[in-house]
Structure 1
Amino acid sequence: MIFKVLYQEIPNEVPVRERTKSLYYEATNERQVRTQLADRKLNIEFIQPLNDAHLQYEQESEDFVVENA
């Protein structure tokens, strides 16, 4: 399953919407995503599983790159 991860690069700062970034990660569940990204020291705001329609929409973006566990 593909997950969209919304995060801030500075882990000890209050999240600001304008600085929110996203990445796409392939994993079996949300816990695996959090575990795999723990060493990057990101301030993860939200992890969203993408259904087929949403995934198709996101794939149209030129910034769409899926990372694997």
Structure 2
Amino acid sequence: MIYKVIYQTSSYEVPVRERTQSLYIEADSQKEVRQKLSDRNYNIEFIQPLDGAHLEYEKQSEAFQLETV
């Protein structure tokens, strides 16, 4: 399954909406997503599973690039 991860680049700063970033990653569960990203110093705000029409919509975005971990 593909997940969209909403995060801040530093876990040491207060989250600011304008600095929020997202990435797309393939994993079997949200727990596995967190494990794959554990070596990065991200403040993960939200992990959203994507499927069906929502996944197709996200694929049309220029920002859609599947992260390899």
TM-score when scaled to structure 1? 0.93
Instruction: Give me the identity figure in percent.
Output: 59
Aligned letter for 2:42? L
Unpaired runs of 5+ residues, structure 2, are: none
How many aligned residue pairs are there?
69
Task: Identify the residue that residue 54 of structure 1 maps to in structure 2.
Answer: 54
Following superposition of structure 1 onto structure 2, how do residues 15-34 of structure 1 map, counting pairs within 5 Å?
A: 15-34=15-34
Unpaired runs of 5+ residues, structure 1, are: none
Structure with more of its chain in helix, by fraction? 1
CA RMSD of aligned residues (A): 1.0
Rounded to whole Å, the distance in 1 between the matches of 2:35 and 2:23 is 15
Task: Identify the residue that residue 3 of structure 2 maps to in structure 1.
Answer: 3
Rounded to whole Å, the distance in 1 between the matches of 2:15 and 2:54 is 24
Q: SS of the counterpart of 1:13?
A: coil
Rounded to whole Å, the distance in 2 between the matches of 1:15 and 1:53 is 30
TM-score when scaled to structure 2? 0.93
Tell me the CA shift for residue 36 of structure 1: 0.5
- What whole-Å deviation, never above 9, does each CA across 1:46-66 have from its counterpart, x for those lacking one? 000012111101000111111
